[in-house]
Each structure stands twice: as C-alpha cells, then as structure tokens.
C-alpha cells in the first residue's frame, strides 16, 4: 500500500512536472507569435504561473514579455513604468537562479533581457530616465556579450542600440546592419523548444529599416 | 548667467531627442540626481520615492493650479530641463516659465506676473527657503538677469494658484524649487561668448557620497552694446559678476545635507533723454551686492517619519543714483518740480534670514501628515536722500497639512497656515484645500481653494503705517489628461484680492480687485519624431484698485489674451538642435494718473515675440578619460523685429509720452562652450551592480 502510494505520488509529481514543462512549451510557442500588448500581458501571467524546470526560464520569459511590451509602448511614456519594474524584478530573479560559474550562456540570455528592460525605462522619458538607464542598459549588455560573444539576441540588442542612438553619441546604422546580419547568421534555423531562440523576426525587421 | 543657460538649453534639447544621453550634461549640476538616489542602495530609493511609490497604489495626484516639472517626469509631463530651456529665457527661470499658461509677457521688467498679480506677488522658494531677490537690482525699462542658474533644480513646481500650506507670503503665485543632489560625475566646463564668460567644476567623491563644486561667471555687455546700439546710453556696464559654491553630502541611509551659496555684484548705469525737457538727460545707476546661502537637510527617521530642515541667509545691498545732466555732461540740480524728483541717491541694506522645519508622518496607503514652522527675519537699513529707512520684522509661521485618499480615485489635501508679523502686529490664518478626482480613462479633475496672505512690500513699511497683510482667495477648477506622450490641461479660476496697498490718498489697505480666466495647455512629443512642442492660451479678466489707481482698473501688466508656442527639435544627422519660442499677447492698458484721476489712457500694440536658438554639438577631443561635450551656439531674439511697446512714460504735465520698448530691437548671441567630464561609468557600475 505504502509502495503504491509512493509510486502514485511519484507518478503524479512527474505528471505535474510534465504538465508544467508542457505549459512552458506551449507558452513559448505562443510567445513566438505574440504581437500585441494584450497577448504579451496574457503570456506574462502564464509564464509567472509556470514552475517548470529549468527554473530560470519562467522568470526569463515573463521578463521578456514585459520588455517587449515596453518596446511596443515606447511612444507612451506614461504607461511603461509598471511593466519595466516588474520586468526588472523578473530578469534579476532569473539571473539569481543561474549558476554564475557554469551557466554562462544562460546568464548571457538573462542579461540581454535585463538590458532590454533598462532600455524600456529610457522610453518612459529619455530626458529624465535616459542617462541612468541608458548607461545601465549598455553595461548589462556588455556583460551579456562578455559571457557569450556570439549570442544572437545580445547581438540583436546591440544592433538595435546602434540603430536607435544618434550619430554623435555613437550611433551607427552600418554597424547596426552588420550586427543584425551577424545575429541572423548565428540564429541559423532557430529551434522551437523552450530554450531562448527568438531574434530572427526582430533582426529582419531591423534590417528592413536600414538601407 | 544667460549664456550658460543657452549652452545647457541646447545640450539638453538634444538630450531629449535621443535614447542615450548618458554623458551629455556638463558640469553645472542639472537634473541628474536620480542616479545616486536610486542606484546606490535600495533604501535610498525609498527615501526619495516612498511617498510616490506608496501612492502609486492610487494614481490620482493633486495638481490643481500647478505645473510640476520633475526629474521623474514621465511621457509628456514637463522635466525641469523642458521648463527652463525655452528660447529667449535669458537664464532666468521666471522668464522661462512665461511660456506656460497663467503668466503675462512682461518685457520691461523681471519677475513673473501671474493671473492679474504683480511680479512682487510671485515668490521663489529653494528647498523651502524664500529667495528674496532672485534678480539683480531692477533698472527702469530693462529686465535684469536672474542670479541663480535655473539648471540647479531637479524639481520645479510653478503654482499659479492654490498651492500648499507649507508655503506662504506669495499672494498670486509660488515657484517651489528643489535643488539637485549629487552630480553624476566629476566634471569641468567653460563657455565663452563675447559678452558672457564663465567656468566651473563639480567634484564627486570616490564613494559617490559627497560632492563639491564652484562656478564663476562674468558678463559685460559694453562691447556688445558698442556693436549693437542700445536705446539707453550706458555709461557704466551693464556688468554682472557672480560666483557660487556648493557641497552635498549623503548622510546615513536616507539623509542628504546640502549647502549652496551664491554671491554677486552688478553695475548698470544708463542715461535716457529726459521727458520733461528737450535737452537734458536723465541718468540712472543701480549697483548691487548680494549673497544668498542655503543649508538644508532631509532624512527619514524611520519608515514613517521624515524631516526636512532648512536655513537660509541673504544679504542684499542696492545703491541707486539718479541724476540730470546737460548736453555737455555737466551734472545739474534743479530745485523745482518735476526736476527735483530726478536727482537723488538711495541705499538699502537688507539682512534676511530664515529657519524652517517640516516633519512628515507617512501613513499606509500613501496618506501623510505634514507639520512644521518657519521664521523669517528681515532687517533693512538705508537712506533715501536724507531720510533714514529702517525696518525690522519677525514673521513666524506654523502650518499643518494632510494628504488623504477618500477613495481610490479621490484624493484630498487640506492644510492650515498661521502667520504672525511683528512689523504689522497682526496674525492671520490661511486655509487651503485641494481635491483630485481621477476618471476611468486616466484623466483627472482637480479643485482647489485657498487664502494667501502677503505682507506689504518693505518700501511701504519704512514709514509709520497701520498696514496689514494683503490677501487673495483662489478658486480653481482644473482638468488634465496625459496619454500617448501628449498632455492636455485646462484650468478655470476666480480670485479675489483684498486689502491691497493703496498709496493715494494715503497709505492704506483699502485696495481690492479680482481676476478670473481660463488657461489651456497642449504638449505633444509624439506626432513628429524628435519634435517636441507645446501651445498655450491664457485668457485673463482682471481689475484692481491699488497704489495710486483712482478706482478699479485693468492693471497695466495684464493682457486679456496671451498665446505661447515652444518648439524644440533635434536634427540627429547634423547634430544640431533648434529651439523656437513664440509669444503673442493682446495690448496692455496704460494710464497717465494725475491728481487721483486718469488724465490719459490707451492700449499698447499687441506683443509679438519670436526667438530662435540653434546649437551645433560636437566633441573636440576624443580622448577616453576626458570626454568633452562642446558646441557652438547662436540665437536671435525678436527675429521679426517687431516694435514691442510695453507701456508709456508720461511727462509731468502729461503732454508728452514716450514708449517703453526693448533696449534694442533684436538681441543676438554666438559663442562656444565646452564641458569635460571624467567618465566614471565603470566605477559607478562596478560599485552598484
């Protein structure tokens, strides 16, 4: 009887584990398609509720949703802050979950999203938030690239920054093009599993804006 | 002085236009305190934002009567830099704010004339302390510069009515300024324009917990005036010398101790044709020595208690000389009216000190109770020709104010302020109430009511008198909506002035008046990329009986309609920022008052002022340690060359009048500026990440 119970509970546990990772996979696939703030808000809630392993991924994806919302709202400074604040917390939680000695690639992913989150804080009002968060965003992105120089998502964010920054503060459209192209090459045929694989659509969108 | 502002203005305009203004701002501390405030440790975040973060549970924020420009502005809300970088502001915060609704376009003197009030009825407060003389001594017909750099502030609250019980002695308007905390980095800067030059530095300690700095500015307009002829014939200056020092120390986890001291000297001497005679010239010279020092401390005592302490001392000496001279330059003394009035000397020395303490108790849900007291001490000694001018006054105020949330969408701020003046031997009580109601779509209605007392000006108190406080009662209804990087605001108000000072037939408080109007403000940062503009409209209906007015009149500083436009655009590809401001106002009334009746009156031409500032930004040295942010700036004020008439001076017999106009039709400037900063980004990040 006791054995049976144990077996049963092990089975249940692994089933719930399976269900969780299944939920994560589903949410990630949905995220690949998400376009609007409403979609992303929904997904952020979903990711927050998922406890699948590896543990950092749910926080990572929740933060990514908030980063994307911030980019979509970049012309509506009044609304961004709550998303940025939540995203910052989630990205930092993802970083804290990771082993800084071993998981360099994963850390690079999380730092990349944190860098995007800081970028969204700049959108709140570049005059008041720009200097502090622009600087933080750059620094965090540097950390990401130091951990994984060829991370395609870090390359994409670097490309975006080069594209969006005015010339006199180091912006450079050609360099942006180069970085986005490099990012695309690294992406090759992106996977579809739960490990971060986004970036292709973003690279293409950016490249289409650069002549 | 004015040039430094041009520089910062240009730099900051460009800053707003891009996403990474990381190392942009030069040495003068601008609104950059956010970095240390929020990054050093999380308690500091709490220190400065506790009230706001608690309040974010409710998004309704009391805002009737005020424009707030803060370093935490979101979307299309004003930042301090937005507010002070308006073309044509001459480095004077009160001139810059004339581009906001409620203020009049007054070209002949300094100060902020708000909603039917005089410039004297608007007061500036820095970190809680009153700045008695924000500008250099007044000179007839020519506005004088401000002494304090408008970029010193990280928070600017321009209240055109209905402000908090924590402040008083300003009947019409209060300008509540909060100085910056620690600078972002160590830096040095200088600028060189033909008539203005200056240099300064800020040093930030290695541990990012303290800083000190100093600036020196010198301005001499004589070279410029020899190239661009001015209407008055200047025989001295205009010259202005100004220095300031500061230190700022972070104490404990949430404390901030700040010291700022500003001292200056000015000399303006000019001659104009005398209006009562064909050949004589009337001379006027004003010299001023001034210092203003402010020591302030703020800290949280624990999670629920906060204190704000401040002490200020200022010394001001003004010496004015009036003379008459014949065409050969000989000084004359003519012993009969009106000429006998035209020669004379006057010197006034003023010591002014203030102590202030405010205690705040924070309650859950963002509610708060504030209470405190302040004491103002004024001591004037002087001479006007042969008569002595003496005044000593102690003014004490105690106040309390509460912030309440009645529901999630309804907030109230109620306060009471009591003042006692020893010079008047009078005590007054001023109640203040504001309400804010937030609608579903995020827009807000605000209501405010308050009584605002102000002592008569020192000039009236030198002679024996039975004067009391003048006062104004404000009623304000306001609507605001912010969305999509756009900001709309409309405000309707009614004000009643009582006990205004009358000088004719005798010195009394028998004056009164009213003001009412509607004001609109629209700002849009979204519609055109990298373009930021705002448009305002002010309607003002006001009449008052004060000073020598024979009965209630529309005062000479009130135009019924005013429109302003401010446009800022940064052209990224050519590193150039362009800043345009335009103001138009209907004509103002003017009067010749003689023997307690109006001998002549009329309306001036409409006012129409277009200003343009352009800056090209560059970097001369690309060294990594010492990055420089430099540029060339130029500008023209009154581009269209419109002949602005602000009013008329009448001859004694009333037969002649001469217009009060700009000293020169157009005003030009061009110059270079550089700022060097040690880029300590890495230090900062290593310490804080």
Indicate yes or no: CB of B74 within 8 angstroms of CB of A168: no
The answer to whether B401 and B370 are in contact (CB under 8 A) is yes
Which tokens hold the place of A56? 């950092």
Reported as a pLDDT band with limits 50, 70 and 90, residue A19 is low
pLDDT above 70 covers what percent of chain B? Answer: 89
Per the model's pLDDT, the better-predicted residue between B15 and B473 turns out to be: B473
- From chain A, the residues in CB contact with B37 under 8 A are none
Residues in CB range of A3: below 8 A, 6 or more apart: none
- From chain B, the residues in CB contact with A100 under 8 A are none
Query: Chain B interface, mutation test: which of A72, A75, A78, most B Cβ atoms within 10 Å?
Result: A78
Reported as a pLDDT band with limits 50, 70 and 90, residue A12 is low
What value does the mean pLDDT take over residues B382-387?
Answer: 91
What value does the mean pLDDT take over residues B65-74?
Answer: 84
Which parts of B92-243 fold into alpha helices (H)? 93-96, 222-227
Indicate yes or no: CB of B24 within 8 angstroms of CB of A131: yes
Residue B53 CA, distance from chain mean position: 29
Q: Which of B25, B82, B575 sits opposite A167 (nearest CB)?
A: B575
With a threshold of 0.90, tell me whether the complex ipTM lies above it.
no
Tell me the shortest Cα–Cα distance from A172 to chain B, in angstroms. Answer: 11
Distance from first CA to last CA of chain A, Å, rounded? 71
pLDDT above 90 covers what percent of chain B? Answer: 63
- From chain A, the residues in CB contact with B526 under 8 A are 75
pLDDT at B625: 60
Q: Which of A80, A130, A140 sits opposite B19 (nearest CB)?
A: A130
**What mean pLDDT is reported for chain B?**
86
pLDDT at B631: 86
Question: Whole-model pTM?
Answer: 0.86
Residue A210 has pLDDT above 90, yes or no: no
Bridge partner residues of B374 (DSSP): B356, B397
Which tokens hold the place of B526? 């979204």
Out of B119-133, B177-191, B345-359, pick the least confident.
B177-191
Residue B598 CA, distance from chain mean position: 33
The answer to whether B554 and B542 are in contact (CB under 8 A) is yes
> Which residue of chain A comes nearest to B154, CA vs CA?
A128
Cα-flanking dihedrals φ and ψ of residue B61, to 5°? -135, 130
- Please state, in angstroms and rounded to a whole number, the distance separating the CA atoms of residues A103 and A114: 16
What is the tens place of the pLDDT at every residue in B491-545? 999 999 999 999 999 999 999 999 999 999 999 998 888 889 999 999 999 999 9
Indicate yes or no: CB of A130 within 8 angstroms of CB of B21: yes
What is the tens place of the pLDDT at every residue in B453-500? 999 999 999 988 899 999 999 999 999 998 888 999 999 999 999 999
Residue B28 has pLDDT above 80, yes or no: no
The answer to whether B392 and B423 are in contact (CB under 8 A) is yes
Beta strands in B195-280 (DSSP E): 196-204, 210-220, 233-251, 255-273
What value does the mean pLDDT take over residues B336-360?
Answer: 93
pLDDT at B48: 37
Tell me the shortest Cα–Cα distance from A199 to chain B, in angstroms. Answer: 22
pLDDT at A4: 59
Indicate yes or no: CB of B75 within 8 angstroms of CB of A76: yes
Out of A113-122, B78-87, B166-175, B648-657, pick the least confident.
B78-87
Reported as a pLDDT band with limits 50, 70 and 90, residue A165 is confident
Residue B525 CA, distance from chain mean position: 25
- From chain B, the residues in CB contact with A132 under 8 A are 34-35, 38-39
- Please state, in angstroms and rounded to a whole number, the distance separating the CA atoms of residues B233 and B283: 9
Residue B404 CA, distance from chain mean position: 30
Indicate yes or no: CB of B572 within 8 angstroms of CB of A125: no
pLDDT at B21: 31
Is cis: bond before B238, omega within 30 of 0?
A: yes
A102: helix, coil or strand?
coil
Tell me the shortest Cα–Cα distance from B228 to chain A, in angstroms. Answer: 35
Q: Strands B122-126 and B173-179: what pairing?
A: parallel
pLDDT at B581: 94
> How many residues in chain A?
211
Q: Which of B35, B79, B485 sits opposite A76 (nearest CB)?
A: B485
Query: Chain A interface, mutation test: which of B15, B17, B21, B573, most A Cβ atoms within 10 Å?
Result: B21
The answer to whether B497 and B558 are in contact (CB under 8 A) is no
Which tokens hold the place of B226? 């020899």
Bridge partner residues of B233 (DSSP): B271
What is the tens place of the pLDDT at every residue in A57-110? 999 999 999 999 999 998 888 889 999 999 999 999 999 999 888 889 999 999
Reported as a pLDDT band with limits 50, 70 and 90, residue A11 is low
Highest mean pLDDT among A73-77, B445-449, B677-681: B445-449
């Amino acid at each position: 009887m006791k054995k049976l119970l144990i077996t049963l509970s092990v089975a249940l546990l692994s089933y719930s584990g399976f269900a969780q990772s299944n939920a994560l996979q589903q949410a990630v696939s949905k995220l690949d398609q998400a376009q609007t703030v409403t979609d992303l808000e929904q997904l952020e809630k979903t990711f927050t509720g998922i406890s699948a392993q590896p543990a950092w991924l749910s926080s990572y994806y929740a933060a990514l949703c908030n980063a994307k919302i911030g980019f979509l709202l970049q012309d509506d400074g009044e609304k961004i802050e709550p998303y940025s604040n939540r995203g910052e917390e989630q990205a930092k939680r993802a970083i804290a979950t990771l082993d800084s000695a071993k998981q360099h690639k994963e850390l690079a992913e999380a730092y990349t999203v944190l860098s995007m989150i800081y970028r969204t804080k700049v959108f709140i009002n570049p005059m008041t938030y720009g200097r502090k968060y622009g600087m933080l965003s750059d620094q965090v992105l540097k950390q990401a690239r130091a951990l994984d120089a060829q991370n395609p998502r870090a390359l994409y964010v670097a490309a975006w920054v080069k594209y969006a920054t005015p010339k006199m503060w180091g912006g450079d459209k050609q360099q942006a093009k180069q970085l986005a192209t490099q990012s695309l090459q690294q992406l090759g045929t992106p996977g579809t599993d739960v490990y971060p694989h986004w970036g292709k659509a973003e690279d293409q969108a950016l490249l289409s804006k650069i002549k | 002085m004015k040039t430094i502002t041009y520089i910062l203005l240009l730099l900051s305009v460009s800053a707003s236009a891009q996403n990474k203004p990381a190392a942009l701002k030069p040495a003068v501390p601008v609104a950059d305190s956010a970095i240390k405030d929020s990054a050093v440790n999380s308690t500091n975040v709490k220190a400065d934002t506790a009230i706001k973060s608690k309040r974010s549970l409710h998004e309704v924020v009391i805002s009737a009567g005020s424009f707030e420009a803060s370093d935490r502005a979101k979307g299309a809300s004003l930042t301090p830099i937005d507010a002070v970088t308006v073309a044509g502001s001459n480095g004077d915060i009160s001139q810059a704010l004339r581009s906001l609704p409620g203020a009049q376009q007054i070209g002949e003197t300094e100060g902020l004339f708000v909603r039917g009030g005089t410039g004297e009825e608007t007061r500036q407060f820095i970190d809680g302390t009153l700045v008695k003389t924000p500008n250099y001594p007044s000179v007839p017909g020519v506005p004088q510069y401000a002494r304090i750099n408008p970029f010193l502030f990280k928070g600017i609250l321009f209240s055109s009515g209905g402000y908090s019980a924590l402040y008083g002695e300003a009947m019409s308007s209060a300008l509540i300024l909060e100085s910056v905390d620690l600078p972002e980095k160590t830096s040095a800067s200088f600028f060189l324009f033909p008539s203005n030059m200056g240099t300064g530095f800020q040093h930030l300690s290695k541990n990012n917990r303290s800083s000190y700095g100093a600036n020196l500015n010198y301005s001499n307009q004589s070279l410029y005036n020899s190239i661009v002829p001015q209407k008055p014939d200047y025989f001295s200056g205009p010259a202005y010398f100004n220095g300031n020092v500061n230190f700022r120390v972070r104490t404990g986890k949430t404390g901030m101790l700040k010291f700022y001291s500003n001292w200056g000297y000015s000399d303006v001497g000019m001659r104009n044709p005398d209006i009562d005679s064909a050949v004589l010239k009337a001379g006027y010279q004003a010299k001023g020595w001034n210092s203003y020092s402010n020591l302030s401390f703020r800290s949280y005592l624990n999670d629920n208690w906060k204190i704000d302490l401040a002490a200020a001392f200022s010394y001001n000496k003004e010496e004015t000389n009036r003379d008459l001279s014949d065409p050969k330059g000989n000084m004359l003394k003519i012993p009969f009216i009106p000429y006998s009035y035209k020669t004379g000397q006057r010197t006034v020395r003023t010591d002014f000190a203030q102590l202030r303490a405010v205690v705040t108790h924070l309650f859950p849900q963002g509610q708060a109770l504030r209470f405190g007291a302040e004491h103002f001490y004024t001591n004037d000694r002087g001479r006007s020709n042969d008569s002595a001018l003496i005044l000593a006054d102690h003014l004490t105020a105690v106040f309390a104010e509460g912030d309440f949330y009645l529901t999630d969408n309804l907030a109230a701020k109620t306060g009471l302020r009591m003042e006692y003046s020893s010079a008047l031997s009078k005590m007054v009580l001023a109640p203040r109430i504001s309400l804010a109601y937030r609608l579903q779509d995020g827009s807000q209605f605000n209501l405010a009511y308050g009584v605002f007392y102000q002592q008569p000006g020192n000039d009236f108190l030198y002679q024996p008198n039975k004067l009391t406080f003048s006062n104004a009662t404000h009623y304000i209804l306001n609507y605001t909506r912010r969305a999509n990087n756009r900001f709309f605001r409309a405000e309707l108000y009614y004000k009643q002035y009582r006990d205004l000072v009358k000088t004719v037939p005798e010195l009394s408080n028998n004056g009164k008046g009213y003001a009412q109007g509607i004001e609109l403000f629209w700002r849009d940062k979204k519609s055109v990329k990298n373009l930021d503009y705002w448009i305002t409209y002010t309607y003002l209906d006001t009449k008052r009986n004060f000073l020598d007015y024979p009965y209630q009149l529309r005062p000479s500083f009130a135009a019924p309609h005013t429109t302003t436009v401010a446009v800022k655009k940064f052209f990224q590809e050519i590193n150039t920022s362009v800043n345009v401001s335009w103001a138009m106002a209907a004509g103002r009334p003017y009067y010749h008052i003689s023997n307690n009746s109006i001998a002549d009156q009329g309306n001036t031409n409409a006012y129409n002022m277009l200003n343009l500032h352009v800056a090209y930004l560059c970097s001369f040295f690309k060294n990594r340690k010492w990055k420089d942010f430099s540029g060339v700036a130029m500008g023209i004020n009154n581009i269209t060359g419109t002949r602005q008439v602000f009013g008329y001076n009448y001859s004694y017999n009333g037969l002649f009048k001469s217009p009060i106009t700009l000293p020169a039709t157009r005003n030009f400037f061009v110059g270079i500026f550089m700022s060097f900063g040690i880029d300590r980004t890495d230090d900062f990040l290593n310490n804080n990440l």
